[in-house]
Amino acid sequence: MSVATAYFDQLFVDNDDPWAFRQRWYEQRKRALTLGLLSKPRYSSIFEPGCANGELSAELAPRCDQLVCCDTAAKAVALAQARLQGFAHAQVCQSRLPAQWPQGRFELIVLSEWCYYLDQDDLCVLIERALAALTHDGQVLACHWRPPIKGCPQTAEQVHQLLHERLGMPRVAQVADSDFLLDLWSRESASVAHLEGLR
32, 37, 31, 21: which is closest to 175 by C-alpha? Answer: 37
If one counts the domains in the chain, the total is 1
Tell me the average pLDDT across 79-96: 96
pLDDT value of position 12: 78
pLDDT band at 93 (very low <50, low <70, confident <90, very high): very high
pLDDT value of position 16: 77
The full length of the chain comes to: 199
CATH code, domain carrying 151: 3.40.50.150
CB 35, CB 68: distance < 8 Å: no
Question: Is residue 123 pLDDT above 80, yes or no?
Answer: yes
Name the 3-class secondary structure at 174.
strand
pLDDT value of position 189: 79
Which comes out higher in pLDDT, residue 195 or 67?
67
Can you give the residue range of the structural domain that contains 51? 5-195
CB 171, CB 165: distance < 8 Å: no
Tell me the average pLDDT across 162-180: 96
pLDDT value of position 1: 61
